[in-house]
Each structure stands twice: as structure tokens, then as C-alpha cells.
Structure 1
Amino acid sequence: MFRPARSGTSNSWHGTPHWSTCRRPRPSAPASNHRDWVPEEVRQLGPARMLETCYRRLTSEFNSHESSDPAESWVAEDQTVGFWIRRLTHETAIHRYDIEAALADPQPIDPELAVDGIDEILTVMFERGRAARGTDTAPEGTTGDLVLESGGHTWFVRLLPTDVEISREVSREARSAASTIISGEPHDLLLWLWGRGPLPAPNNDDDGGAAAELRRRLAAST
């Protein structure tokens, strides 16, 4: 059974339509026009009913498929229902945090989920924005190599003038040569990557500006 992260209160327009408007897997749907993807009957619902109705429809759709079943996505190598289960789980976790923060009671994101969220924003969401924008118009700014470490996992990020390279493999030499190393608890690092929190402290600094440039490019891409 599909069970996303706890969604917090249900009476927020920000958290409700953003993920819950019944974006169901459509294996045979054409990719040309999604402007009217929100059903008219959903548009007429209030926030609480929208969340309840669409949560029920979405989870029912996920539960009726294997994660390996085909479903359109923007990642060429992952056209599966599992892609959307992962994407909407992280969407829910971040906006759950937003809602709780607005109520002055933010709860930490589960460490295992946050580690996968770090991987997703770097290897999926960042790539999506870059592909949509095109490298010809990518922002030019600070360059450098960064190493991100959290929860026993490591990512290597190379900022080029108009592109970026990301890898889950980090050699000892690459780590030693990196201009910036960012480490922190999974929750803290994930929130920083999504612009919800400060650069994890106290063991990190950004003298060369590479961390700020990474955040700037993430903001432009996500």
C-alpha cells in the first residue's frame, strides 16, 4: 500500500492543490498538452475536500499498479509508476514541513526519506530544470567542485560555467580537491537544498561562493 509522508493540516491552499490534484499515472497519454490536467470537478472543491478526495484517488491509483508499470515522466530512463510514487512522497514531505512551519511547529523529516530526497533534488529535479532551460541559457556564475555528505551518503557536484555534473561516486582525490565540502544531518541538508533552511552549521563555510551558487542554480531549476 502507498503511504506518503504525513501531510500535516489539510486546510492550506499551498499544500493542497500543488500535489493532490489527482495527477494519476497515464501510461497511454500523449505528452503534448497538459494545460488542463486539473479536472474541473476538482477545481470546485475547497482545500480540505480537495486534499481528501485527491489523496484517496491518487493512492488508489498507485495501489492498483506495480511500481514498475509504465507511466510518463520527464526522466527518460525512468518512465514508471515508481517514479511518481517517489516524486509525490518527497513533494508531500516538503510541503508538510511548510505547513507545520507556518503553524510554528515544524517536525523533522525522517532521515532515510531525507537522504533519498537529497538524491532526488540533485539527480532528478535539478536535471529537470536544466533540461527545460537548456544549457545555452544556463546561468553563468561561480564554478567549483562541491562534496555533499549526509546520512552515510556522498554526492559530487561540479559547477561549470553553463552546466553542472553530478555523481554519487566520490573518489578520495576528488574529495581532497573539492573547493567546498558540505555535511549535515539529512533533514538540515535537504531543507537547505530546497531553500527552507540555512547552510548546515557549524562545520561548513562558503568562502568561495560555490554553495551559494549551487543554491542559486537549484532555485532557478526547481
Structure 2
Amino acid sequence: MEPSRFLGCLTDDFARLRAVASIDPTAAVPSCPGWSVADLTHHVGEVYLHKTLAIREGAEPEPWPPADLAAEEPMALLDRAYAGLLAEFAAHEPQDRAGSWYAPGQTVGFWIRRMAQETVIHRIDAELGVGAPVAPVPDDLAVDGIDELLKVFVEYSVAEWASAFSEILADSPGWTYTVRTDGGAWSVRTGPGLLRVTDGAADAADVTVSGPPTALLRWLWGRELAGETSGVTVDGPPEAMAPLRRCIVTATQ
């Protein structure tokens, strides 16, 4: 996806997030236990502000968040931070330098993509919180989101912060997974201390996870309600799926 496409998706999902979040700020968000919609709104505002500073200063700000943000009204913070983020994006080219936790992605373009994906997931959180219909995710954004989750979050985190995953993967006999949707397929291989992601379906997978793009993105991010029929199919033994699911949760906390 081109940066302009990510920015268009960001614009659409921000508008939906803001509209939905105003319906009932006190509602509980089932996909973010312990959070209200107001808490979610405040969090997204903090995220936008953090990335604005990471671009402007060339490094992620530490410590974070500043104490004075806690008292700011959530919707006011969201609007202020979003305006600042868009201004920062407009002032730079995608290839310009920006600080990030992801070593291969030290560019403004990395944050354009990341904020589009961050926003669509939290837009879904807000919809689940207030009981609004979950709007479809464009197929190209959903496929990219699956790719980002598997490679940028899970594979990179296992390699970079191995100690957080050592217990999960210590006894892995070496499982192979195929993750497949319309427009994309990935092979995931695990072993003790190891998780590798490659493009394309595995020749022989222990587990195959498949479904429509929006459904698969939501399933991988844990954005489903209990008892909801998602359209995602998991074919393989539960004991093989469990470590991949635990790695995803650990990498995205």
C-alpha cells in the first residue's frame, strides 16, 4: 500500500472512531479489559502525540506519557493529537527519518502505516464497546494489517525480546502454520526460541488458519466477542495453535 492510501484509511477510521466514541464514553470495551471507551479514546490520543514527537524529535520520547496528559479530557486530547499527527505527516516525506522501536522502520512512512493500522483496530474496539456495527475493513488494509502483525510485531518481537517468549516456545516441537486470506498467505514456523514468517503458504502445515480479510485481522488481534461467528477456520490440533496465539498476545500487549 502507498502512504497516500494509508493516510486515506487513517482519515476514514479516525472519523468513525471519533463518532462512535462519542456515543457512550462510559461503556466498557470488551476487547480491552478494564477500559472504558473514554480510556480508549485517551489512549489513542496519547499514541498519536507520542508518534508526532517521535517524528519531530527523531527519537521516541522517554519517559512516556507526561503526567499532565492524565487530566486532559479524552476527546480534546484525541482531536489535538490527531491534528498534530497529520501536520507532522504533511511536513515530511515518507522516507524521512523518525525514531521507532522497530529497527528496520526508522522512517515517517513506518509511522504512517502503523497509525493507520492502530486506528482501525481501536476503531473496532470503540464499536465493540458501544455495541455499534463493526464497519468493514478495506481488504487491502486488512491484508496489510495481517502482514504487519505477523512480521513487525510477532516475528520481530520474538527475535528482539527473546526472553519474553522463551517459556512459550521452549517446548515447541517445531510447528508450521499457514495463515491464509483472499489476497495473502503466510507461513509461520516455530521452534524453541524461534519464530519465522515467510510469504506464501507452507508446503505442509500443522495448522491452517483461514478466513476473509476483515475477519482474519480481527481474529488475530483478538477483536471478537465471545460466541461471535467470525468466518475464520482453524484446521489443526489445539495444542499446536496455542503457542502461536500466546506469542501474538505477548507481542501485542
Compute the TM-score of the two structures, normalised by the length of structure 1.
0.85
User: Does structure 1 conserve the Cα–Cα contact (< 8 Å) formed by 2:181 and 2:212?
Assistant: yes
Q: Identify the structure with the greater helix proportion.
A: 2
Q: 1:26 aligns with which of 55, 58, 63?
A: 55
Name the SS of the counterpart of 1:6 in structure 2: helix
How far off its partner does 1:196 sit? 1.6
Among candidates 204, 207, 214, match of residue 234 of structure 2: 204
Q: 1:199 to 1:207 in 2, by over 3 A?
A: farther
Q: Is the 8 A contact 1:146 1:182 kept in 2?
A: yes
Cα deviation digits, residues 27-51 of structure 1 (max 9, x gap): 65456x61134473x4432011111
Tell me the amino acid that sits aligned with residue 158 of structure 1. R
Identity %: 32
Letter in 2 for 1:207: P
Range with bigger deviation, 84-93 or 73-82: 73-82
Report the CA distance between 1:110 and its aligned residue.
1.7
- Of the three residues 15, 38, 58, the one matched with 1:13 is 38
2:141 equivalent to 1:113: yes
Contact 1:93 1:109 in 2 (8 A): yes
Cα distance 1:66–1:39, how it changes in 2: closer, same or farther (>3 A)? farther
For structure 2, list consecutive stretches of 5 or more residues without a partner in the other structure: 26-36
Cα RMSD (Å)? 2.5
Rounded to whole Å, the distance in 1 between the matches of 2:119 and 2:195 is 27
Give the superposition deviation at 1:90. 0.7
1:27-66 correspondence to structure 2 within 5 Å: 28-29=57-58, 34-38=62-66, 40=68, 42-66=69-93
* Structure 1, unpaired ranges of 5+: none
- What's the TM-score once normalised by structure 2's chain length? 0.75
SS at 2:42 equivalent:
helix
Q: Secondary structure at 2:55's aligned position in 1?
A: coil
- In the alignment, which residue of structure 2 is the partner of 1:80? 107
Question: In the alignment, which residue of structure 2 is the partner of 1:149?
Answer: 180
Q: Distance in 1 between matches of 2:114 and 2:177?
A: 25
CA gap of 1:151–1:96, structure 2 versus 1, over 3 A, is same
Distance (whole Å) between structure 1 residues aligned to residue 82 and residue 205 of structure 2: 43
Q: Corresponding residue for 2:116?
A: 89
